[in-house]
Amino acid sequence: MFQCMILAVSAVLVGLDQLTKWLAVMYLRNGESITVIPRILDFSYAENTGAAFSILSGERWFLIVITLIVMVALAAFVLFGQFRRYKLFNLSATLILAGGIGNLIDRLVQGYVVDFIKVTFMDFPVFNVADCFVVVGSVLLLIFFCFIYEDKAPTEAAHGKATDDSSGS
């Protein structure tokens, strides 16, 4: 049941991503830029045919296939995997699923991803809400595997094999 809720929350986040991209198309596509926080953050329309930092630009079908594989694998881990009992894993998976699916929809429907969030205090590519979901989810997943998840697989020492062999019997 909990895993179904994760998928439902992912769907809501995908809707939020698609809404923000629709708003960007409606209000920014004509080339205008909206300053949100002066010298820090603008909204400015861009079309990205690649992945992060426009790598693999023009490789639409490759990106679609890779995204589909990753999303299906991640959904399988959420529904059936050994990590599903961990809240941080579920949160990170929810964010990554939402972001991946949000950008996948753009690639399938339009052939490019709509980006519109532009940080102006440094030279950084324009990005979108789905990208934020993927980045935050990935950082949380890294934290989970580095600091929280402990492999509970039985070892020989845990089962006393080392002490049995040294007992002299």
> Which are the catalytic amino acids?
115, 131
Inter-CA distances, 114 with 21, 37, 65, 100, 120, Å: 6, 21, 19, 13, 18
Place of tokens 């993927």: 134
Query: Max alpha carbon distance in the chain (Å)?
Result: 83
What CA–CA distance (Å, rounded) separates 57 from 49? 5
